[in-house]
Structure 1
């Protein structure tokens, strides 16, 4: 078989990002001072350039190249823009926080860029090997980010838990992929889809491979019963790292499901949608109920994330383009809300004090009306109050699952959405009705970080008022 030169222009987002990683590494090595200003600005330029290149090189295409291992399509473009965009936002929040704690080093930005590169590779994976390589590149980077503060015992403990459980889930995913390869006779997702359609649900090897693969995917999302790491990692890691994991990795997990389960094993929907139902309901129950008793705001957001992943899985359960586009819309919308919520912790934190308890939000309205309004918009949106982007995201996945004939699932989801309103309103009670003891303290964050948080909240509000354009983008990306 003759060698065919691949079209490297299709992979220009990854090539650009890898080249910029090398540049950041060299520049940071020789740049004077300890604040890594050059690494920060170059990293932001790298992310903005990657977003632009993803749109220019891949939007509107549907091309498989690099010997069947890489796909350039609209879905990849949307995912890459979202991943790079949330990484850009996380870096914008992080600089002052890291400087105050003597953690401002170029390695933080480099590790994050490697994680973004892993997400890019997953987004364009047309082969199980490519998918797994991208996943491991992102996972290893995230383990290092969690342990970045080497002097923090709780961060080291969280990183160890994350690493051990992550390695276990990666092993299960790889084991499932090996079974899928044995059943389909190919690593290419298109060939796997054809084999699954021909074999149907009677192929035991494919069915077992699907089960193990779904376990690995559920862990990466943080879905029940593979959620044990989420609250510990969210609480133990530095807040910028938690923000990065809570946004970038959640969007990056979407192609892991869509490419492997949705595209590759879509013909076995009758097998995997039952397991996905169990995961969705368990995530809604555990996430909502455990969040009720949390006093730590980061742990509350961790369990809240688990409940939101339950909603996200409702879109997957539908097994249709409409359901998948609703899940993609939900992932992007939730990540934008989570960025603002974790960003508020960054805004209120100062050297020697991590403002990660709900009590730290007491009297926020007296300290800063603007920041209180941001928290109001975000909590209402997470609750799913009509008129917010959270409401539209929930409506989209509920409609998809109802159209698929699972009305009872929608009823369960609405019930636990009502329960979740309690702990979101509890946060707003602290913001607006609880009073500070003693003199009112000024917001410790710099004006830059406050502006970033304000613009983040404004983006959540704007997306709630005008959700149609993002719906349209997600539908187009999924071929709708």
Structure 2
């Protein structure tokens, strides 16, 4: 008779993510049973309550993992708990909170970011009827919660199976949400198709790499793969583990839009609903980078020299592509897409030589970049094309932002703060994050990479400053643009993002101390 061994699961360690995922399931039931006119309010309250509840549970976990006798180890088969993982979850929750607020907004124009019904064919009678009925695709919020739950568990994954499952949990809802834009539906559906097809390729690379690592070591656990790799060096085919690791990294590098795996990013950013673009740019990048850290700390130690050369080359190429191509963009969403690519290059240099300073710097950079990104895309969602005074789709051409400082002073000021943070100007969170990141890379022996990053950062400041000049020092041309008002959620998200960006930039020490305690991740 076969016996069944009950898995040991520390449910309290999984509780923050389970609250998010449980709310996502509840949100699906809301879509089925709650009247359509009430769904947006119910979904928004559920999502925000779940995120706040998850914050409370995460604070309790932090007290356990960062105390005098820290509790670390496996909380379930394939997931670990440690200060780094808990801090990563906290950062992702902050991004998720801001993203939910931007998605839940109904503007003064009476519309939102999402199609009335995603299944309606663009331009057909059924879409017109849905729009006249004032519907909105509220299923985007439970999809967001599913993806957010996957993002929270992604950095805690400690074996290859859990890594792949969390990658798909993060990605599948986003493939759907990318196709749900209320305006420019065909462009949105094209973006979703590109994201899905190229995402499938990235998953295939990750699976093939996992298969090679399992075949070479007989295990899917990071720590066991590293141990077997060290014991069997020089025995049998020596290329299998490095090849498997490189293929595994390709799957993760796709998610952070590192060159040459970045080609999906500009088109998907441009076509997706603007709040989804912000969530994708901030949340997916943070989750994938922090998951990549755990892979490199455990498995990457076995091929340090070869891997360092590969990551250095990718980092330089990523900075080069993001900087050079970003300068010539005239669409603000595509400009921010190439900005995100450049920032991915900066973050990669912290992974060349991993130490406690580089881990804390990467956590800080994920927070600073993520907060500013969600806030910037929240503002973009309010600047619209005018059709005889009526608001249409987002006005994403850079010239649409001419004179925004006069038409909407608060939005222009907030966007200025975010652009200055992206550029790394002092008194913003972006400056502190870049300083810590570049310092950790220099101390780790990557001085030449830091020089390349500083040159790239100076060049990217051009397209951030160009937007500021357009907003304050150029007059608007005609009446082709209208700024719609937020009914609360987007305004709240932008305000919180501005406050966090300035507070971290002016008083960074408490957060630096906290993240320094979180940078405990040892094989």
CA RMSD of aligned residues (A): 2.2
CA–CA separation in structure 2 for the residues paired with 1:326 and 1:197: 29
Instruction: Report whether the alignment pairs 1:409 with 2:418.
Output: no
Instruction: Report whether the alignment pairs 1:469 with 2:478.
Output: no
Instruction: Report whether the alignment pairs 1:257 with 2:292.
Output: yes
Q: In 2, are the aligned partners of 1:348 and 1:445 still within 8 Å (CA)?
A: no
SS, match of residue 349 in structure 1: strand
Distance change in 2, residues 1:237/1:262 (3 Å): same
Q: Please report how far the alpha carbon of residue 407 of structure 1 lies from its aligned counterpart in structure 2 after TM superposition.
A: 1.4
| 1:48 paired residue among 25, 47, 52 | 52
Instruction: Report whether the alignment pairs 1:23 with 2:26.
Output: yes
| 2:74 paired residue among 38, 42, 64 | 64
Superposed CA deviations along residues 323-375 of structure 1, whole A, max 9, x for unmatched, are: 22212221221111111211110232374131222112111111232222212
Which stretch has the larger CA shift, 13-22 or 338-347? Answer: 13-22
CA–CA separation in structure 2 for the residues paired with 1:289 and 1:153: 29
CA–CA separation in structure 1 for the residues paired with 2:495 and 2:9: 44
| 1:384 paired residue among 424, 427, 431 | 424
Instruction: Report whether the alignment pairs 1:146 with 2:178.
Output: yes
Long gaps (5+) in structure 2:
66-70, 117-135, 386-390
Q: Please report how far the alpha carbon of residue 276 of structure 1 lies from its aligned counterpart in structure 2 after TM superposition.
A: 0.7
Q: Please report how far the alpha carbon of residue 71 of structure 1 lies from its aligned counterpart in structure 2 after TM superposition.
A: 1.0
Instruction: Report whether the alignment pairs 1:372 with 2:412.
Output: yes
SS, match of residue 157 in structure 2: coil
Aligned residue number for residue 146 of structure 2: 114
Q: Output aligned runs, 1:56-135, within 5 Å.
A: 56-57=60-61, 60=65, 61-66=71-76, 68-96=77-105, 100-101=111-112, 102-103=115-116, 104-135=136-167
Q: In 1, are the aligned partners of 2:425 and 2:431 still within 8 Å (CA)?
A: yes
Q: In 1, are the aligned partners of 2:92 and 2:287 still within 8 Å (CA)?
A: yes
Q: In 1, are the aligned partners of 2:349 and 2:446 still within 8 Å (CA)?
A: no
CA–CA separation in structure 2 for the residues paired with 1:440 and 1:168: 41
Q: In 1, are the aligned partners of 2:40 and 2:104 still within 8 Å (CA)?
A: no
Aligned residue number for residue 361 of structure 1: 401
Aligned residue number for residue 291 of structure 1: 326
Aligned residue number for residue 456 of structure 1: 497
Which stretch has the larger CA shift, 306-315 or 173-182? Answer: 173-182
CA–CA separation in structure 2 for the residues paired with 1:100 and 1:251: 30
CA–CA separation in structure 1 for the residues paired with 2:297 and 2:162: 16
Distance change in 2, residues 1:95/1:220 (3 Å): same
CA–CA separation in structure 2 for the residues paired with 1:264 and 1:84: 27
Distance change in 2, residues 1:157/1:454 (3 Å): same
Rg comparison, structure with higher value: 2
Q: Structure 1: which 4+ aligned runs deviate by more than 6 Å?
A: 439-442
Q: In 2, are the aligned partners of 1:276 and 1:317 still within 8 Å (CA)?
A: yes
Distance change in 2, residues 1:297/1:184 (3 Å): same
Superposed CA deviations along residues 372-416 of structure 1, whole A, max 9, x for unmatched, are: 221221111111112322122111121111112221111111111
Q: In 2, are the aligned partners of 1:232 and 1:299 still within 8 Å (CA)?
A: yes
Which stretch has the larger CA shift, 200-209 or 436-445? Answer: 436-445
Q: Output aligned runs, 1:286-365, within 5 Å.
A: 286-349=321-384, 351-365=391-405
Long gaps (5+) in structure 1:
none
Give the TM-score taking structure 1 as reference length: 0.94
Give the TM-score taking structure 2 as reference length: 0.87
Q: Please report how far the alpha carbon of residue 442 of structure 1 lies from its aligned counterpart in structure 2 after TM superposition.
A: 6.8
Aligned residue number for residue 195 of structure 1: 228
Q: Please report how far the alpha carbon of residue 465 of structure 1 lies from its aligned counterpart in structure 2 after TM superposition.
A: 0.7
CA–CA separation in structure 1 for the residues paired with 2:451 and 2:399: 33
CA–CA separation in structure 2 for the residues paired with 1:440 and 1:340: 24
CA–CA separation in structure 1 for the residues paired with 2:360 and 2:339: 22
Q: Output aligned runs, 1:258-277, within 5 Å.
A: 258-277=293-312
Which stretch has the larger CA shift, 213-222 or 144-153? Answer: 144-153
| 1:162 paired residue among 173, 187, 195 | 195
CA–CA separation in structure 2 for the residues paired with 1:33 and 1:179: 49
SS, match of residue 100 in structure 1: coil
Alignment length, in residue pairs?
Answer: 479
CA–CA separation in structure 2 for the residues paired with 1:312 and 1:105: 35
